[in-house]
Amino acid sequence: MLEEDLEIAVKVVVVGNGAVGKSSMIQRYCKGIFTKDYKKTIGVDFLEKQLRLNDDDVRLMLWDTAGQEEFDALTKAYYRGAQACVLAFSTTDRNSFEAVENWKSKVEEEVGPNIPIALVQNKIDLLDDAVVEQHEAEGLAKRLKLRFYRTSVKEDLNVDEVFKYLATKHIQKMRQEGEKESEPTTVQPIRQIGLFTSTGSASKSNNNNGDSGNIGGETITLQPSKSRVPSKSKNIFSRCKVF
Ligand SMILES: Nc1nc2c(ncn2[C@@H]2O[C@H](COP(=O)(O)OP(=O)(O)OP(=O)(O)O)[C@@H](O)[C@H]2O)c(=O)[nH]1
C-alpha cells in the first residue's frame, strides 16, 4: 500500500461546561447545521469528519463530552487516547470561563500535558451580553499556553479554523516524533569516575561489565544502559490507523 493511500486518524475531545456549545460546534463542523434547541449531552457522543490537509487525508474523530458534572466520571474515561482537544467556554457564561483551567487539568490527568489544545470562546454573536472581557480570555490563553479562538457556531465563524489548527498541530507533532525516532543515536563513550585511593592517587580500572563497578576498589565505570544501532528511517505512518 502506498503512503499516499493512508489516512491519519486523530481523536479529538471537546470539553467545557454545559451549554457552551460543544455539541453544536461538532454538528456545525461535521454536518453544517445549527439548531437553537438545547439538548444536554448524556455521557458522550461521537461524530467523524474527513478532510484533506496539505497532502494528507485526515479523519477527525470528534468526541462530544457532557459538560455537566454529574457525568464527570463517565466522560473522563473517553479522554484516554485523545490526541487533541477543544476546550470551550461561552461568551455569556462567566462560570464556564472560570472552569477552563479545571477542564484543562482533567484532560491532562488522563492524556498527559503534550496534546494540542485550542481554547475556544464560543457565542461571540452575543458580544452585547458578554460577561468575559476579550483581554481576560486572551490573558488566560497566554498563561495556559493555548491557541485561542473566538467562534460563533450559530454564525459559522471560525469553527473550521479550530479543527484545522488541531489537526495540523497533531500531524506536525507526529512527524517530529517520527524524525526523532529515526535519528541515529550516538554511542556514548565509556566514562570512568576515578575515585581517590586512601593514598590520594587517582586509580583507574575497567571491569567492562556495564555495571557500576567495584565500590570497594577505586573505579566506577558507567556505560550507556542501551546502545542503539542507527535505524533505518522509520515510516511515521506506521503509527496511524489505516481504515
Ligand atoms: N447564540 C448562540 N447560541 C449558540 C451557539 N452555539 C451554541 N448555541 C446554543 O447554546 C445551547 C447549548 O448548546 P449545546 O451545543 O447543546 O451545548 P453543549 O456544550 O453541548 O452542552 P452539554 O451537552 O450540556 O455539555 C443551544 O441552545 C445552542 O443552540 C452560538 O455560537 N451562538
Q: How far is the CA of 63 from the centre of ligand 1 (A)?
A: 16
Ligand 1, residue 27: give the atom nearest the CA: 15
To test ligand 1's pocket by mutation, which of 24, 72, 128 has the most ligand atoms within 8 angstroms of CB? 24
- Specify which residues 14 forms β-bridges with: 64, 86
217-240 residue pLDDT tens: 344 434 333 333 333 333 333 333
64 CA closest ligand 1 atom index:
20
Total residues belonging to the chain? 243
Report the nearest atom of ligand 1 relative to the CA of 157: 31
Residues 88-125: tens digit of each pLDDT: 999 999 999 999 999 999 999 999 999 999 999 999 99
With b for 16 or more beta-carbon neighbours within 10 A and e for fewer, the 135-158 pattern comes to eebeebbeeeebebbbbbbbeeeb
Mean pLDDT of 28-32: 97
Ligand 1 pocket: which of 31, 36, 38, 78 to mutate (most atoms <8 Å of CB)? 38
Could you give the ipTM of this predicted complex? 0.99
How far is ligand 1, taken at its centre, from the CA of residue 23, in Å?
7
In this predicted model, what pLDDT tens digit does every residue of 178-217 receive, in sequence order? 887 776 655 554 444 433 333 333 333 333 333 333 434 3
Rg, Å, the chain Cα set? 25
38 C-alpha to ligand 1 centroid (Å):
6
Position in ligand 1 atom list of the atom nearest CA 28: 6
Determine what percent of the chain is predicted with pLDDT higher than 70.
Answer: 73
Pair type for strands 7-15 and 84-90: parallel
Output the CA 21–ligand 1 centroid distance in Å. Answer: 3
Q: Whose CA is nearest to atom 32 of ligand 1?
A: 123
Domain ranges of the chain: 3-177, 194-225
Measure 20 CA to ligand 1 centroid, in angstroms. Answer: 5
CB 171 near ligand 1, within 6 Å: no
- DSSP-derived secondary structure for the chain: --GGG-EEEEEEEEE-STTSSHHHHHHHHHH----S------SEEEEEEEEEETTEEEEEEEEEE--SGGGHHHHHHHHTT--EEEEEEETT-HHHHHTHHHHHHHHHHHH-S-S-EEEEEE-GGGGGG--S-HHHHHHHHHHHT-EEEE-BTTTTBSHHHHHHHHHHHHHHHHHHHHHHHHSPPPPPPPEEEEPBPTTS-B------SSSPP-SSSSEEEE--S-PPPPPPPP-GGGGS---
- CATH architecture of the domain with range 3-177: 3-Layer(aba) Sandwich (3.40)
